[in-house]
């Protein structure tokens, strides 16, 4: 019999099995169940119908209101009230109120709640982010979240896998966002449908943790069930800082693990990449793009609101000013990131350049608030989706890009890269 991939080993361990194979249906024990202010109320309502009352483990559930928080209207306030009351009633340890909350997929790793070898489900499609730490994490629906909170178990169809061999070192302004946009452009939005995207190779050492979070975060945009990285020295350093003393298990793929496909990605050949409307697979390298004038830039989200992202954007913007008529919105992903951005002078750089800074929120990414687009407007955004109407009006346009490209575009008023402003 052939060996198992990293993801398959984690699933087997949590199902109490020695071996699993692609396509097999299993029931597995969960380490963490996640929900936000949009998905949790639906799950909480479903739980009220169960004969099982209460939650399986108050320490293994995380409730993070982040999509419409601080509340933008009465409906969002009612949703958050529902989550707040459920958290209090069930004494949920990891409930994050305004002042402590952040964008869920940046907040949980920062708080040490996600570690290697964990099996994590979340009622949000970008739950796959935690694969950056060597965990198996995937998005599920609110009904599965309800069952997970009640029983501590989830069912899975064991995924097959695609191997991405990462080699080389990226050039100055090329980041994890460019890597994953390049991959999605190459294999398509359904290129990894219900498969594990497993990233390996000597080039991984040249990707920061924030790069890896970005890449794993967007595995879902290629249809992936999850994205996952091996645990290395950089992972362990991150865990020592954010989850000191917490036990975890490192899983490694077998030498003879089976992969449906294998790709080699040479980081040294990658260029700044932008996804044009209306799918993430519609990619173009920046130096081949004609003048596309824009109206707004958003730097933030669970994809690119981390400290490395803000540092990169600030480095590009420093000493320049946002172009006349351009709205540039910067959203740190957590309170801690916001605080560090202030201490490092990044916030000052953004404000002096004519950008605005928001409290942590998903906000504009899903057309929620803090930057909704009007009819015909164009936005360069570091978010993860550019579907029709995603950020506002149905005829608005979203161009997905890295923080470096977004910052340069804010300065020139058109889709640009840092070299166009002399960097």
pLDDT in tens, 367-387: 999 999 999 999 999 999 999
Residue carrying the six token digits 């002096």: 352
| pLDDT for residue 1 is more than 80 | no
Q: pLDDT-based confidence at 103, cuts 50/70/90?
A: very high
| pLDDT for residue 353 is more than 90 | yes
Give 375-419 pLDDT, tens digit per residue.
999 999 999 999 999 999 999 999 999 999 999 999 999 999 999
Give 51-85 pLDDT, tens digit per residue.
888 999 999 999 999 999 999 999 999 999 999 99
What domains does the chain contain, in order, with CATH numbers?
6-265 (3.30.499.10), 272-421 (3.30.499.10)
Q: Quick one: pLDDT at residue 422?
A: 86
SS (H, E, C) the chain: CCECCHHHHHHHHHHCCCCCCCCCEEEEECCEEEEECCCHHHHHHHHCCCCCCCCCCCCCEEEECCCCCCCCCHHHHHHHHHHHHHHHHCCCCEECCCCCCCCHHHHHHHCCCCCCCCEEEECCHHHHHHHHHCCEEEECCHHHHHHHHHHCEEEEECCCEEEEEEECCCCCCCCHHHHHHHHHHHHCCCCCCCCEEEEECHHHHHCCHHHHHHHHHHHHHHCCCEEECCCCHHHHHHHHHHCCCCCCCCCCCCCCECCCEEEEEEHHHCCCEEECCCCCCCEEEHHHCCCCECCEEEECHHHHCCHHHHHHHHHHHCCCCCCCCCEEEECCCCHHHHHHHHHCCHHHHHHHCCCEECCCCCHHHHCCCCCCECCCCEEEECCCCCCCCCCECCCCEEEECCHHHHHHHHHHCECCCHHHHCC
CB atoms < 10 A from the CB of 319, how many? 12
CB atoms < 10 A from the CB of 363, how many? 27
Give 134-180 pLDDT, tens digit per residue.
999 999 999 999 999 999 999 999 999 999 999 999 999 999 999 99
Q: Quick one: pLDDT at residue 133?
A: 98
| pLDDT for residue 324 is more than 80 | yes
Q: Which long-range contacts (CB under 8 A, 24 or more apart) does 354-358 make?
A: 354/321, 354/322, 354/328, 355/299, 355/317, 355/322, 355/328, 355/329, 355/330, 355/410, 356/327, 356/328, 356/329, 356/330, 357/330, 357/331, 357/332, 358/300, 358/329, 358/330, 358/331, 358/332
Looking only at Cα atoms, what is the longest distance across the chain?
64
Q: Quick one: pLDDT at residue 317?
A: 97
Q: Quick one: pLDDT at residue 421?
A: 87
Q: Quick one: pLDDT at residue 2?
A: 83
Compute the average pLDDT of residues 81-90. Answer: 96
Q: Which residue has the higher pLDDT, 43 or 51?
A: 43
0.85 surpassed by pTM: yes
Q: Quick one: pLDDT at residue 51?
A: 86
Packing angle, helices 233-242 and 209-217, rounded to 10: 90
């Amino acid at each position: 019999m052939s060996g198992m991939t990293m993801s398959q080993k984690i699933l087997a361990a949590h199902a109490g099995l020695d071996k699993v194979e692609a396509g097999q249906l299993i029931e597995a024990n969960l380490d963490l169940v996640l929900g936000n202010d949009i998905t949790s109320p639906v799950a909480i309502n479903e739980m009220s119908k169960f004969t099982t009352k209460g939650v399986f483990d108050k320490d293994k559930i995380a409730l993070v209101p982040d999509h419409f928080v601080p509340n933008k209207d009465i409906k969002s306030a009612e949703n958050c009230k529902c989550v707040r009351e459920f958290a209090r009633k069930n004494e949920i340890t990891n409930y994050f109120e305004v002042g402590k909350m952040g964008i869920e997929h940046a907040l949980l790793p920062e708080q040490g709640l996600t570690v290697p070898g964990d099996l994590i489900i979340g009622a949000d499609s970008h739950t796959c982010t935690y694969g950056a730490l060597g965990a198996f994490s995937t998005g599920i629906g609110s009904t599965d979240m309800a069952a997970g909170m009640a029983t501590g178990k989830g069912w899975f169809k064991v995924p097959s896998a695609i191997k991405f061999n990462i080699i080389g070192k990226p050039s100055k302004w090329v980041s994890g966002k460019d890597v994953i946009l390049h991959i999605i452009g190459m294999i398509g939005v359904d290129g990894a449908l219900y498969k594990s995207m497993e990233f390996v190779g000597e080039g991984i050492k040249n990707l920061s943790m924030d790069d890896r979070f970005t890449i794993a975060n967007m595995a879902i945009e290629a249809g992936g069930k999850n994205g996952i990285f091996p645990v290395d020295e950089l992972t362990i350093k991150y865990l020592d800082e954010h989850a000191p003393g917490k036990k975890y298990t490192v899983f490694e793929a077998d030498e003879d693990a089976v992969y449906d496909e294998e790709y080699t990605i040479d980081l040294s050949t990658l260029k700044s990449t932008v996804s044009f409307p209306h799918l993430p697979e519609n990619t173009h390298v920046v130096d081949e793009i004609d003048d596309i004038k824009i109206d707004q830039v958003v730097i933030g989200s669970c994809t690119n609101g981390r400290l490395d992202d803000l540092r990169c954007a600030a480095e590009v913007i420093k000493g320049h000013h946002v172009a006349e008529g351009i709205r540039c919105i910067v959203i740190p992903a957590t309170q801690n990131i916001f605080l560090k951005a202030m201490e490092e002078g990044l916030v000052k750089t953004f404000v002096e350049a004519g950008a605005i800074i928001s409290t942590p929120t998903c906000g504009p990414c899903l057309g929620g608030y803090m930057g909704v687009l009007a009819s015909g407007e164009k936005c360069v955004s570091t978010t993860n989706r550019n579907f029709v109407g995603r950020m506002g009006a149905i005829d608005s346009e979203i161009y997905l890009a890295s923080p470096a490209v977004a910052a340069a575009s804010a300065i020139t008023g058109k889709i640009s890269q840092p070299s166009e402003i002399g960097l």
